[in-house]
Amino acid sequence: MRNLLKLMLKEKKIMLISLASAFALFLFYFIFMYKPLYSSSAKIFIKDIPQQNIIAEFGGGSLVKSESGYSNPLFNLAQVLKSKNTSVRVFEALKQKQEKDIKKINIKNEDEWHNYLSEHIRTKIIPSTDTLSISLKWINKDTAGNTLNEIVEQFKGENMNMRKAVAVNQRKYLEENLEEINNNLTEVRKEIKNYTIANNAVNMDAEKTVLVEARVGLERDIELTKSKINYYDRKHKELADQIGISDVRVALRSASIGKDPYLDNLFANLAVSQQKLADLNGTFTENYPKVISAQNEVKTLDHIIKERQNQAFTNLKIKETDVRGIYDESSQDVIKEMAMAKAEKVSLANELKQMQRGVNNLLQRESTLPEKILGLEELKKQESALKSAYESVKAKQLEAKLNENSIVNNIFILDAPSKPVFVLADLLFKFLGFLYLGVIAGIAAAWVKNYIENKIKLNDMESFAV
């Protein structure tokens, strides 16, 4: 450092010439090339900036906020102001309104303009407020305020676009989600319909009640029928003991030798049974147990009559009575009762089989009900969940539409752009820059001169020594 000062003091003339040259260059630059800058500033207020909660944040708040929760939202907005999107909007507006200024600074494309604007605009966050201070250095004193106004307006427009873009994307997402849920709900309802038709599950609870009641009724009738069968079985045995013949067919054949009054009674009983069957068919279906019993009774009587007609008047060998006929009226009455008891027993036995088959069918249907009910309940649970989700998303969609339509500008100008002021600091900085270059050039020239002189002296000394 001392050597450098000594060199500068030693070569004062060179240093003065360098500084004078630098000053002359500065004057030339100032007169012919310098484009003066004028500074204008304004203040804007941003409304509804969210406050970050220490524990948790409830509610939506502003759409322009920090994801981490630590940065200043105003800083984010300052970055939006300096973003390329905003600068492009300003560039397009100024090309139409202030074309001369754009040509004066020789800006050819958006990238050059973005770099230029980034260097000439400054933002400052005023502490403890929601206010930004914006300053602009501009080449035209008359349009500096208008240019700053245009920047603020385009910044407001870009901020509105960002806020609306978030709301629009949220609404679109909810609409897509709502459509998907609606499609799933339609599919589930279709499955419920097909399941109900396929399993005949229109009203499962009512069907279960009906099946249980029908089964209990049939079981009660089965017990009653069994008691009747036991009654007619005992009656048959008692009557058989009275006449000494246990086989009804043998007893009927014995009574049919000669006069056969029993055949007339069979026809009468057949007529009564047919009338009974006709009355039941008019009221119930063919599968009803009593109808089946009446049908069996008619068939049994018809079969007995036909056999009686074929065999009644033939000489037969009766095993239990050798060869004899039963002609007394009391014995014939016993045989009639025994035959009726046998017929009733056979009819009731057939009816019992039908009722037992019916109970088995009902039990089989009952056994399938839990699976049917479980499958239907599962589908209904899905339907209920999707319906709740649909209503919830629908409410959010309506809320998103309202939010989208209710978004308004939240940036307000507190102080209009100030009167443009010449930027002396910029000129002074350039002047100091020229002087600095002059000093550097002078030092370089002095060092070269000093180096050459020292070289010449060294050569002279070597020549003298020789």
Sorted by where each begins, the domain ranges of the chain are: 39-198+408-438, 204-394
Average pLDDT over residues 113-134: 88
Of how many residues is the chain composed?
466
Both tokens assigned to 339: 């035959």
Q: What are the tens digits of pLDDT across the range 254-290?
A: 655 445 566 667 777 877 887 777 777 777 777 777 7
Residues 6+ apart with CB under 8 A from 16: 442
Query: What's CA 141's distance to the chain center, in Å?
Result: 59
Of the two residues 377 and 129, the one the predictor is more confident about is: 129
Residue with tokens 């500065």: 26
Give the whole-angstrom CA distance, residue 379 versus residue 244: 70
Residue 428 has pLDDT above 80, yes or no: yes
Average the pLDDT over each of 80-89, 173-182, 345-354, 358-367 and give the range with the smallest value. Answer: 358-367
Burial, 434: exposed, middle or buried (Cβ in 10 Å; 0-12, 13-18, 19+)?
Answer: buried
Residue 53 vs residues 45, 77, 148, 182: alpha-carbon distances, Å: 22, 20, 35, 37
Angle in degrees, CA 36, 41, 47, rounded to 5: 155
| Contact by Cβ (8 Å): 380, 387 | no
Q: What are the tens digits of pLDDT across the range 355-406?
A: 888 888 877 776 666 666 667 778 788 888 888 888 988 888 888 888 777 7
| Contact by Cβ (8 Å): 357, 227 | no
> Dmax of the chain from CA atoms?
191
Give the whole-angstrom CA distance, residue 187 versus residue 79: 48
At 251 the pLDDT is 64
Strands 131-138 and 121-125: antiparallel
Residues 6+ apart with CB under 8 A from 362: 211, 214, 215, 218
Backbone angles phi, psi at 189, to 5 degrees: -65, -35
At 158 the pLDDT is 87
- The residue type at 160: M
Residue with tokens 């699976």: 371
Average pLDDT over residues 62-78: 60
Of the two residues 205 and 147, the one the predictor is more confident about is: 147
- Give the number of other Cβ atoms within 10 Å of residue 347's Cβ: 25
DSSP letters for 240-280: HHHHT---HHHHHHHHHSS--HHHHHHHHHHHHHHHHHHHH
Both tokens assigned to 209: 């009640």
Q: What is the DSSP letter of 50?
A: P
Average pLDDT over residues 221-225: 86
Residues 6+ apart with CB under 8 A from 145: 40, 416, 417, 418, 419, 420
- Give the number of other Cβ atoms within 10 Å of residue 68's Cβ: 7
Give the whole-angstrom CA distance, residue 146 versus residue 94: 10
Residue 303 vs residues 249, 310, 343, 449: alpha-carbon distances, Å: 12, 11, 11, 154
At 204 the pLDDT is 59
Residue 30 has pLDDT above 80, yes or no: no
Residues 6+ apart with CB under 8 A from 226: 352
Both tokens assigned to 112: 């050059």
Q: Is the pTM of this model over 0.85?
A: no
| Percentage of residues in the chain having pLDDT higher than 70 | 77
Average pLDDT over residues 343-361: 83
Residue with tokens 């870009």: 158
Residue by residue, what is the 3-state secondary structure of 390-457?
Answer: HHHHHHHHHHHHHHHHHCCCCEEEEECCCCCEECHHHHHHHHHHHHHHHHHHHHHHHHHHHHHHHHHH
Average the pLDDT over each of 79-88, 171-180, 213-222 and give the range with the smallest value. Answer: 213-222
Backbone torsion region of residue 286, taken as left when φ is above 0, otherwise alpha when ψ lies between -120 and 50, otherwise beta = alpha
| Percentage of residues in the chain having pLDDT higher than 90 | 4
How much is the mean pLDDT over the chain?
Answer: 77
Give the whole-angstrom CA distance, residue 179 versus residue 393: 10
Q: Which of 25-34, 75-84, 203-212, 334-343 is most confident?
A: 75-84
State the alpha helices, DSSP H only, in 312-423.
329-406
Average the pLDDT over each of 95-99, 131-135, 350-354, 424-428 and give the range with the smallest value. Answer: 424-428
Average the pLDDT over each of 166-180, 306-320, 373-387 and give the range with the smallest value. Answer: 306-320
